[in-house]
């Protein structure tokens, strides 16, 4: 019989993780969403968040379900992915820095774009989708954070369906391939993962419902992320006119520059792997 309690617990935990991990305006997706929300374009923010959440769900599912053999296949392509991600962020940052916002004529500017709405939605979705897809550290991030979160939840008595033990095994199997500074968080939880992996009985039980439990957690993570960005972008859109137009433009241009920094960091990590 399916353990409804564990499915509900994992959905709540996943939603909370996706919501609160999205709060810091520090990543590329957050910066792009913030910059467009300050322009009043909440639709862009929503579809970008939705596209990014799809990759969050996929990476999170792979991390908790145990497709760690895919990481072994993907590992040789990480430097290329990092370079592509750096180039993509550079061009997105360039577009943002070229933005010159005029709030007094924002509605008229939007009307000119109406005929291309379907194309724009696809473009907004693909922006978030591609940024997260070209960020290989995202898989490691969800692997480590999910392990810590689910281990904590289990220690508090919540029913996580043994998923914390499954992730413990996954962390152990991936840990040997830690080649980049992006992947170093794995080292700090290696001992915990080894300890968790010894619970053979719990592992056997967890495998029985692993697919459903993993889906419940991963999908909830994506939903939590989208909900946060929807609330956050709505807040910025409603209150943006309280800020001076010059200040908003400076903030947006500054965010474009921060994206360049992210791109430079990805390129630096690619060089480290190539030369290492």
pLDDT of 80 > 90? The answer is no
Least reliable range by pLDDT among 114-118, 227-231, 234-238: 114-118
Contact (CB, 8 A) for 197 and 162: no
Give the whole-angstrom CA distance, residue 65 versus residue 227. Answer: 24
Least reliable range by pLDDT among 34-48, 110-124, 129-143, 167-181: 110-124
Share of the chain above pLDDT 90, in %: 14
H-helix or E-strand spanning residue 13: helix 4-21
Mean pLDDT for the stretch of residues 16-33 = 81
Give the whole-angstrom CA distance, residue 2 versus residue 106. Answer: 52
| Higher pLDDT among residues 227 and 241, named by residue | 227
Q: Which residue has the tokens 């908003």?
A: 248
Give the whole-angstrom CA distance, residue 268 versus residue 112. Answer: 40
Instruction: State the pLDDT at residue 26.
Output: 61
pLDDT of 14 > 90? The answer is yes
Mean pLDDT for the stretch of residues 7-13 = 91
Mean pLDDT for the stretch of residues 215-243 = 90
Q: Residue 110 to residues 47, 68, 203: CA-CA distances in angstroms?
A: 16, 45, 54
Backbone phi, then psi, for 165, in 5-degree steps?
Answer: -75, -35
Least reliable range by pLDDT among 12-16, 25-29, 183-187, 224-228: 183-187
| Higher pLDDT among residues 252 and 206, named by residue | 252
| Higher pLDDT among residues 41 and 177, named by residue | 41
């Amino acid at each position: 019989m399916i353990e409804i309690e564990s499915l509900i617990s994992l959905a709540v935990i996943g939603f909370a993780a996706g919501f609160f991990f999205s709060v810091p305006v520090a990543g590329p997706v957050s910066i792009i969403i913030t910059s467009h929300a300050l322009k009043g374009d909440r639709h862009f923010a929503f579809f970008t968040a939705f596209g990014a959440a799809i990759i969050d769900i996929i990476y999170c599912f792979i991390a908790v379900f145990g497709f760690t053999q895919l990481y072994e296949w993907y590992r040789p392509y990480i430097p290329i992915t990092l370079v592509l991600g750096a180039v993509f962020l550079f061009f997105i940052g360039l577009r943002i820095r070229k933005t010159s916002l005029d709030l007094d004529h924002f509605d008229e500017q939007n009307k000119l774009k109406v005929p291309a709405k379907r194309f724009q939605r696809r473009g907004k979705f693909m922006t978030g989708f591609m940024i997260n897809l070209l960020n290989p550290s995202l898989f490691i991030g969800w692997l480590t954070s999910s392990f810590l979160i689910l281990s904590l939840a289990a220690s508090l008595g919540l029913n996580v369906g043994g998923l914390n033990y499954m992730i413990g095994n996954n962390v152990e199997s991936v840990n040997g391939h830690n080649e980049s500074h992006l992947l170093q968080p794995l080292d700090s939880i290696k001992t915990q993962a080894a300890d968790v992996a010894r619970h053979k009985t719990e592992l056997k039980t967890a495998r029985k419902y692993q697919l459903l439990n993993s889906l419940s957690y991963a999908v909830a993570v994506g939903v939590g992320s989208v909900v946060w960005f929807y609330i956050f972008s709505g807040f910025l859109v409603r209150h943006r006119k309280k800020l001076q137009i010059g200040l908003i433009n400076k903030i947006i241009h500054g965010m474009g520059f921060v994206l360049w920094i992210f791109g430079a960091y990805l390129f630096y990590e690619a060089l480290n792997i190539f030369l290492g």
